[in-house]
Structure 1
Amino acid sequence: MSVAKKLASQTAIYGVSSIVGRVLTYLLVPVYTARFEAAEYGIVTALYACVSFLNVLFTYGLETTFFRFANRPGTDRQLLYNRVLSLLLVSSVLFSAVLAWQAGTLLRLLSLPSGQERYAVWLALILGLDAVAAIPFARLRLENKARKFATIRMANIVLNVALNLFFIIVCPDIMAGEYLSVLQPVIASIYDPSIGVGYVFLSNLAASALTLLLLAREFAGFRFRLDFAALQPLLVYAYPIMLMGLAGMVNETLDRILLPAWLPKGFYPGKSSETVAGIYGACYKLSIFMSLVIQAFRYSAEPFFFAQSTEKNSPATFALVLKWFTLCCAFIFVFISINIEDFAQAFLRRAEYREGVAVVPVLLMANLFLGVYWNLSVWFKLTDKTYYGTYIGGAGAVLTVALNLLLIPVLGYMGCALATLACYFMMAAICWWLGERHFPVPYPVGRLLAWLLVASGVVALGWFITPADYWVRHAWHLGLCAVFVALIVVVEKPRRALAR
C-alpha cells in the first residue's frame, strides 16, 4: 500500500467515526433550536466557546509533543508515556479545582447571568477528564490503533447524544403528560426542570467519564513518573504549540464571545445580543461538515507526517496529500453552500435561526483554509521550530480581534464570518511563505488557488441563479456539483495521480 493510500485508509477510519459521531451530535442542533430559545442557546454557545480556550490550556501542547519525542530514535515510549500522563494528571486536577473555585468569575467575564455557577463547575470536570484522556488517545494514534480510537470516540458521542435526547425531550414530554404518564414518578426522581440547558453539560460530563472507563487498558500499564528534569525539553517544545493553540482558539471562537458584547444596540431590530449570538452559533454549526473532515485528517496526518519525515520522497508525499485534501474540501464547500437551503431547513428548526445562513459559505471556505494551514504547518513541527507556529497564530489572533472589532458594528455576524476567513487565509499564506524558506515542499499553490476560485464561481451560480420550481432548483444544484466533480476528474486524473 502506498503512503498516500495508507494515510487515506487511516483518515477514512477516523473520518467515519468523526462523520458519524458529528452527524449524531449535529442531530442535537434541531433539538436545541426547537426546545430552547435563541437566548438560552446563546448561553451554551458562549460557554463552549470558552471551553475551546481552556482545552488548549489543559493539554498545553503535550499531544503533538508526545508524537514528536516518541518518534525519536532510542526513545523509551512507555517511559515517555508515563511521564507525560503523570504531568497531565497533576495539572488537570489543579486546573479543574481552580476553575470550579472561580466559577462565578467565569460567568461574569462572559456576561452570563449569575446563579448558573454549576454549569462552570461541570465544565471544569469535563475539561479535566478530557485532558487526562488526551495522551491515551494519542498513544492509540501513534500505534495506528485507529479502530479502537474510533470505537471509544463513538461510544462517547452516542452516550452524550442519548442523554441529551433523554433529558431534553423524553423527560419534559413525560412530565407534561405527552406519553408514558405512568413513568412520571420515576422521571420526577431523576429530572429537574430547573436545570434546563444544564443537561447539555451534564450529558457531556457523563460521556467524558465513560471515555476514561473505556481507556482502562491504556491506563493498565501506566506508572506514575513525575520527573521535571526529564520533562523540561518536552515543555520547551510544547509551550509554543500551546500558545499557537490559544491563538487558534482566538481565531476560532472569539467572534462568538465578541459578537454579543460589541454589537450595537438595535443593529438587529427586536433581537437581544444573546439571541443574535444564538443565531450565529447555530449557523456556525453548519460549517461543521468541513470541520469534521479536518479533524479526521489531523488525527491520522500528524503521526503520519512524523513517521514519513525521514523518507527521501516525503516532500512530494506532503504535496500530494495537500492537493487531494484541498480538492475534497472544495467539493464539500460547493455541495453544502449550494444546498444550504436544505441543510438549514433540516437542522435549524426555528425560522429565527435561519436568518443567518448567508454566513455559512464564508465559514466553510474559512475552515477549508484552516485545513490547508494544518497541512502546511508540518514544516515547523518537523524542524522543531514550533515557535513559528506561535508567531503565525499570534498574527492571526491580532487580525481576528482587529477585524471583529472593526466589522461587527458594521456588518454584524457577517463581519465575524469575514474576519474568520481573512484570518485563516492569512495564516495559510504566511505558513506557506515561511515553509518555502525552511522546508521546501513542491505544493501546487497556484493550481489549488485556481480550483478554489472555480469552486467559488460554482457556488455563486447556485446562489444567484435560483429557479422558482423546487425540483428544477434542486436538479440545477446537483448538476452544478456534478460538473465540478467532472472537472476535477478530467483535469486532475485522480487515478493516475494516486498511482504515482
Structure 2
Amino acid sequence: MGVLKTLFKQTFIYGLATVLPRMLSFILVPLYTTKGVLSSVAEYGEVSVIFSYFVLFNVLLAYGMETAFFRFFNKEEDKNLVIGTSAISLIVSSFGFFVLALLFQNQIAEFIDIDVKYINLVIWILLLDALAIIPFAWLRATQRPMRYAIVKIFNVVIYIGLNLFFLLVLKNLDLKGSILESIYRPNFEISYIFIANLIASALTLLFVFPFYVQAKYIFNKTLWKSMMRYAIPVLIAGVAFSINETFDRILLKELLPANIAETAIGMYSACYKIALFMTLFATAYRLGIEPFFFSHATSKNPQKNYAIILEFFVAFGSVILLTVVVFADVIKLYIVRSEAYWEAMWVVPIILIANFCLGIYHNLSVWYKITDKTKFGAYISIVGAVITLTINILFIKEFSYKASAIATLAAYSIMMLLSFYFGRKYYPIPYNIKKIGMYMLLSIGFSIISFYEFRAYYPVGVSLLIVFLTIVFISEKNQIKKLLIKQHAD
C-alpha cells in the first residue's frame, strides 16, 4: 500500500493542478453563455470550433514526445541526454511549424473557414504551448508536482482574469483619454478570448523557461530515432483521440445547414461542459498514474497495484457519474446560465458515461505502455476515430448533436473493451471484473433511470445515489481500512 499512498498524494497534487484551474475555468462558461457577453449562441459555437482545432494541433506539435520522454527518462541512465534530445527536437519542430503557419495563414483561414485574425493568434499560442511541453514533462518525471501545480494554476488564473477584464470590465470603463482607449474594440469579444490565452501562455513559458537555461543541449540521433519509434504510435493515437474528443464540432459545422450549425455547436459545447467533472477526475488520475506506471514497472508484482488502482478509479468515477447526473439540472444553473443553451441537456449523461469509459481506457492502457507496444494504442484509437467519424457523418444531418454524443460514447466504450481484451493477452493484470462490472452497471443504470425517467425528481435520484454510495462503502471498506492503517504506520 506504500506505493499507493505515494500515488494518491501525487494524484491529489496533480488533481489540484488540473481540477482547480478547470473548476476556475467554469467561470468562463457562465461568462460566455450570459446574455450580452457574446452576441449569440452561434458566436460561442464559433469559439468552440476554433478550440477544437487547438486540440488537434496541440497533439500534432507534441507528436508523442511527452510520453516518450517519460519512458526514456526512466529507462536511460543518462538523463541529460534524454532531456537534451527531446528539448532540441521540440524546439526545432515548433519553430518550423510556426514559420510555415505564418506564411500560409491566409490559405489556412480560407480552407477551414475561420477569420485570419483568429488564425494568427492561434499560431502564436500553439508555439508557446508546444515549447512548454518538455519542461512540464520534466517536472512530472522528476516528481515535482507542487511546482507543476503552481505554474498550471497561475496560467489559468491569468487567463480567467484577462477574460473577465476584457469581456466585462473593459467595455464598462470610461476609456476616453486613457491608455486603455487604444486596446478597446467593439464586437471584438472572440479576439479578446484568444488574446487572453496568448498572454497566459507567454507568461507560463516564462515561468518554466529556466528549464531551457539549465538543460544540456546534447542531441543523440540514435536515441532520438528510438524515442520517435516509441512516440509515433502515441502521436497517431493522439490524433485519433482528438478526433474522438472534438472533431464532432467541426463535422457539425460542415454537415448541418449554415443557418443552424454554429447555434447547435454552441448549445452542444456548453452542455458538454457539465460532463467536465468526470473529465477532471479522469485527467487528474491519469497525470498521477502515468509516471507511477513507468517508475514501478520493474517492482515486485506491479500488476496487483495496477488492479487496485483501476478498482478505486471505477468506484470513485461511478460516484461522480451518478452524482452529476442526479444534480445536472441544478449544476446547469451555475455553469450554463442562459436557457438558450439548455435544449442540449439531453447529451449530459451520455457524455459523462463516455468520459468514464475513456478514463477506464487510460487506466487499462498501462499494458501497452509498459511493454513498449504503443502501436496497439494507435490501433485502438484509430478504431475509435473511425467509429466517431462514421456515426457523425451518417447521422448528424438527422439527429444533429445527439449523434455526436452517441458517437463519443460508442467510440470510448469500444476502445475500453479492446484495450481490456488485448491487455489480457499481452500483460495480464488480475482486475476484479465482478466488482468493477457491478459498479459500472449500477451507476450507469441508475443514471439512465434518474435522468431520462425521473429527471429533476430528487426523491428518486437522491435515493438511488444513497443506495449506490452504501454499496460502494460496504464493498471498499476493507481496502480503505488497509490504506489508512498503512498510512498511519508510515
What's the TM-score bracket when you normalise by the shorter of the two chains? over 0.9
CA contact 1:140–1:146 (8 Å) conserved in 2 = yes
For residues 496 and 160 of structure 1, the distance between their equivalents in structure 2, rounded to whole angstroms, comes to 41
**Which TM-score applies when normalising by structure 2?**
0.94
Check whether the contact 1:241–1:386 (CA below 8 A) recurs between aligned residues: yes
What SS does the aligned partner of 1:358 have?
helix
Equivalent in the alignment of 1:313: 301
Shift of 1:183: 6.8
> Percent sequence identity over matched residues?
35
Report matched runs for 1:17-32 at 5 Å: 17-32=17-32
Deviation at 1:466, TM superposition (A): 4.4
2:182 matches 1:189? yes
Contact 1:58-1:91 at 8 Å conserved across structures: yes
Closer, same or farther: CA 449–108 of 1 in aligned 2, 3 Å: farther
Q: Any idea what SS the aligned residue of 1:71 has?
A: helix
Residue 38 of structure 1: CA displacement?
Answer: 1.2
| CA contact 1:99–1:120 (8 Å) conserved in 2 | no
Which amino acid counterpart does residue 486 of structure 1 have in structure 2?
T
Aligned pair 1:486/2:489, yes or no? Answer: no
Q: Give the letter aligned to residue 249 of structure 2.
A: R
> For the Cα contact (< 8 Å) 1:280–1:356, is it kept in 2?
yes
Matches within 5 A, 1:222-301: 222-263=215-256, 265=257, 272-301=260-289
2:314 pairs with 1:326: yes
Matched-pair contact (CA < 8 Å) for 1:362–1:417: yes
TM-score by length of 1: 0.92
Contact 1:46/1:110 (CA < 8 Å) preserved in 2? no
SS at match of 1:197: helix
Structure 1 residue 292, shift from structure 2 partner: 1.2
**Is the 1:103–1:118 Cα contact (8 Å) retained in structure 2?**
no
Contact 1:282–1:353 (Cα < 8 Å) also in 2 = yes
Match of 2:389 in 1: 401
Is residue 2:54 matched to residue 1:55? no
Q: Is the aligned partner of 1:350 residue 2:338?
A: yes
How far did residue 104 of structure 1 move? 2.8
Instruction: For residue 216 of structure 1, report the CA deviation from its aligned partner.
Output: 3.0
The 1:109–1:364 alpha-carbon spacing in structure 2 relative to 1, beyond 3 Å, is farther
> Residue 166 of structure 2 contacts residue 192 of structure 2 at CA under 8 Å; is this kept in 1?
yes
Report the aligned-residue RMSD: 1.9
For structure 1, which segment, 17-26 or 163-172, has the greater mean C-alpha deviation from structure 2 after superposition? 17-26
CA–CA separation in structure 2 for the residues paired with 1:96 and 1:343: 40
| Residue matched to 1:64 | 67
Q: 1:104 pairs with 103, 106, 114, which one?
A: 106
**What's the CA shift for 1:289?**
1.2
SS of 2:178's partner is: helix
Contact 1:400–1:419 (CA under 8 A) maintained in structure 2 = yes
Q: Is 1:495 the equivalent of 2:450?
A: no
Deviation of 1:190 (Å): 2.4
> Residues 321-400 of structure 1: matches in 2 within 5 Å?
321-400=309-388
The residue number in structure 2 matching 1:178 is: none
How much does 1:465 deviate?
5.7
One-letter amino acid of the structure 1 residue matched with residue 472 of structure 2: I
Q: Which runs of 5+ in 1 are unaligned?
A: 175-180
- The answer as to whether partners of 2:105 and 2:119 remain within 8 angstroms in 1 is yes
Deviation string 1:373-402 (CA, Å, 9 cap, x unpaired) is 111111111111111111111111111111
Measured after TM superposition, the shift of residue 433 of structure 1 is 0.5
Post-superposition Cα deviations, 1:128-186, rounded to whole Å, max 9, x if no partner, equal 11111111111111111101000000000000000000001111122xxxxxx377734
Q: Distance in 1 between matches of 2:452 and 2:424?
A: 39
Matches for 1:469-484 after TM superposition, within 5 Å:
473-474=457-458, 477-484=461-468
Residue 259 of structure 1, CA deviation = 1.2
Task: Quickly say closer, same or farther: Cα 1:210–1:410, change in 2 above 3 A.
Answer: same
**Cα-to-partner distance string for 1:24-52 (whole Å, 9 max, x where unaligned):** 11210111111111111111111110111
Contact 2:81 2:219 in 1 (8 A): no
Q: Distance in 2 between matches of 1:483 and 1:490?
A: 11
Aligned counterparts of 1:102 and 1:432: Cα–Cα separation in 2: 43
Distance 2:453 2:69 in 1: 51
CA distance in 2, matches of 1:460, 1:435: 30
Give the AA of the match of 1:251.
Answer: N
Aligned equivalents of 1:71 and 1:377: distance in 2? 18
* Cα distance in 1 between the residues matched to 2:197 and 2:455: 43
Q: Aligned equivalents of 1:212 and 1:460: distance in 2?
A: 44
Q: Could you tell me how far 1:359 is from its partner in structure 2?
A: 0.1
Q: What letter is aligned with 2:400?
A: G
CA distance in 2, matches of 1:229, 1:4: 36
**Is 2:109 the partner of 1:125?**
no
Q: Give the distance between the partners of 2:207 and 2:290, measured in 1 at CA.
A: 23
Q: State the alpha-carbon separation in 2 of the partners of residues 90 and 110 from structure 1.
A: 26
Give the distance between the partners of 1:394 and 1:182, measured in 2 at CA. Answer: 52
Deviations 1:301-345 (A, max 9, x none): 111000111012200100100011111111111111111111111
Check conservation: 2:326, 2:458, Cα contact below 8 A.
no
Equivalent residue for 2:419, pick from 410, 431, 445? 431
3-state DSSP class of the match of 1:292? helix
Post-superposition offset of 1:120: 1.0
Q: Which amino acid aligns with 1:70?
A: F
**Structure 2 residue ranges without an equivalent (≥5):** none
Which secondary structure does the structure 2 equivalent of 1:357 belong to? helix
SS at match of 1:272: helix
Q: Indicate the residue corresponding to 1:148 in structure 2.
A: 147
Measured in 1, the distance between the counterparts of 2:482 and 2:421 equals: 25
Residue of structure 1 equivalent to 2:408? 420
Aligned to 2:88: 86
**Residues 366 and 421 in structure 1, CA contact (< 8 A), matched pair in contact too:** yes
Aligned AA (1:463): F
**Aligned to 1:223, what secondary structure does the other structure show?**
coil
Amino acid at match of 1:495: I
Specify the alignment match of 1:177 in structure 2. none
Compared CA separation, residues 459 and 312, structure 1 to 2 (3 A): same
Aligned partner letter, 2:430: P
Cα separation, partners in 2 of 1:464 and 1:427, compared to 1, 3 Å: closer
1:217 aligns with 2:210: yes
Q: Secondary structure at the match of 1:192?
A: coil
State the Cα distance separating 1:476 from its structure 2 match. 5.0
Looking at structure 2, the residues matched to 279 and 183 of structure 1 have their Cα atoms a distance apart, in angstroms, of 37
Shift of 1:207: 0.7
